[in-house]
Amino acid sequence: MSEIPNSFTLDGQLVPFEPGQTILQAALAAGHYIPHLCSSPELKPHGSCKLCTVVVNGRHGSACTAHAMPGQDVQSDTPDLNGKRRLQVQMLFVEGNHFCPGCEKSGNCKLQAVAYDLEMLNPHFPHFFPQRPVDASHPDILLDRNRCIMCEQCVEASRDIDGKEVFGLAGRGLASHLVVNSPSGLLGDSALEAGDKAANICPVGAIVHKRVGYAKPIGARDYDTLGIRAQARAAAEGEGP
């Protein structure tokens, strides 16, 4: 057991936690970044992107779903795990159609920011270049499935925060894709509104607001100066005592 009762070690450093917290929540609160994409502090743990996979007492598990326990030995920032994470991000890049130079989310995109953090230099694998439809039927919101990474944050946000269930995940395997709750299947016929959480939570450029475009100039975007890891650290310090 460690000296502080509610604490575990993360890469050798003591991390305190509150009962009920996941390893990821406790780590982030203490300013330790563990790469993740499908998890959001506003949503229930989902555990689909598997980027936050850590080794807990010798066993692999998702930091976003595993509960923190006293005395756990958690390995995260290791060459093996970071190598696997880089591989996973590369897989996400070749699975969809991600053309950063032509995406208005570029610079504010979590997939890109995580890839920067993991020093991904190229997508590595042969691209699938799937055919995926774009839905521009909504007056305010654009749904570009080419950029979707199936994290289901919009699905959960719409269901659990907006109370609307606008989105769902259909199909299976590589044919998985977002579907929209309306008779036509089009976003324009759904109950989605621009102010909904689901319209504002997408970590990538799959759900973006129309008439915004490249609003922030290069240099002033979310991840232009401070990387996602440094921001996580800064956020924890800001909320600290």
Partner 1 sequence: MTQPTPSLDQVLPPILARHGNDPTRLVQILRDAQDQLEYLAPDTVTALARALNIPRTRVESCVEFYAFLHDQPRGRFRILFSDNITDRMLGNQALFEHMLKRFHLAPGQVSEDGLVSVGLTSCTGMCDQGPALLINNMPITRLTPRRVDEICDLVQSGLPLADWPSHYFKVEDNIRRAEVLLGSGFRSGDALRAALARGPEAMLAELKRSNLRGRGGAGFTTGVKWELCRKARADIRYIVCNADEGEPGTFKDRVLLQSFAERVFEGMALAGFTVGARQGLLYLRAEYQYMMPHLLAVLERMRAAGLLGRAILGQVDFDFDIDIHLGAGAYVCGEETALIESLEGKAGRPRIRPPFPVTSGYLGKPTVVNNVETLCKATEIALHGGAWYEAQGTKQSTGTKILSVAGDCERPGLYEFPFGVHVSEVLAECGARNAIAVQVSGASGMCLSPEEFGRRIAFEDVPTAGAFMIFGPGRDMFEMALNFADFFAHESCGFCAPCRIGTGLVQKMMHKIAAGQGTRYEVNEMLRLRELMRTTAHCGLGQTAGNAVFDTLQKFRPAYDRRLQDTDFIPAIDLEAALARARAMAGRDDADAHLGAQA
Partner 2 sequence: MTVSVPAPHSGPAAGPRKLKVATASLSGCFGCHMSLLDLDERLLQLAELVEFDRSPITDIKHCGPCDVGLIEGSVCNSENVHVLREFRSHCKVLIAFGACAVAGGLPAMRNGLDVGDCLKEIYCDRVGPGGLIPNDRELPLLLDKVYPINEVVRVDYFIPGCPPSGDAIWKYLTDVIAGRMPRLEHPMLRYD
Question: Residue 39 forms beta bridges with which residues?
Answer: none
Is residue 60 a contact point for partner 1 (CB under 8 A)?
yes
Question: Distance (Å, rounded) from C-alpha 173 to C-alpha 62?
Answer: 20
Q: How far is the CB of 69 from partner 1 (least distance, A)?
A: 12
Contact track, partner 1, 173-192, x by CB under 8 A: xxxx--xxxxx-x-------
Q: Which residues contact 196 (CB under 8 A, 6 or more apart)?
A: 157, 158, 162, 164, 166
Q: Which of 39, 76, 88, 97 binds partner 1 (CB under 8 A)?
A: 88
Q: Which of 16, 84, 160, 200 binds partner 1 (CB under 8 A)?
A: 84
Of 26-34, 90-98, 140-148, 225-233, the window that binds partner 1 (rule: CB under 8 A) is 90-98
Chain positions 119 to 148 lying near partner 1, rule: CB under 8 A, are 125-126, 128
Question: Distance (Å, rounded) from C-alpha 192 to C-alpha 215?
Answer: 23
Is residue 106 a contact point for partner 2 (CB under 8 A)?
yes
**Angle at Cα 119 formed by Cα 115 and Cα 125, nearest 5°?**
70
The answer to whether 72 and 187 are in contact (CB under 8 A) is no
Q: How far is the CB of 215 from partner 1 (least distance, A)?
A: 29
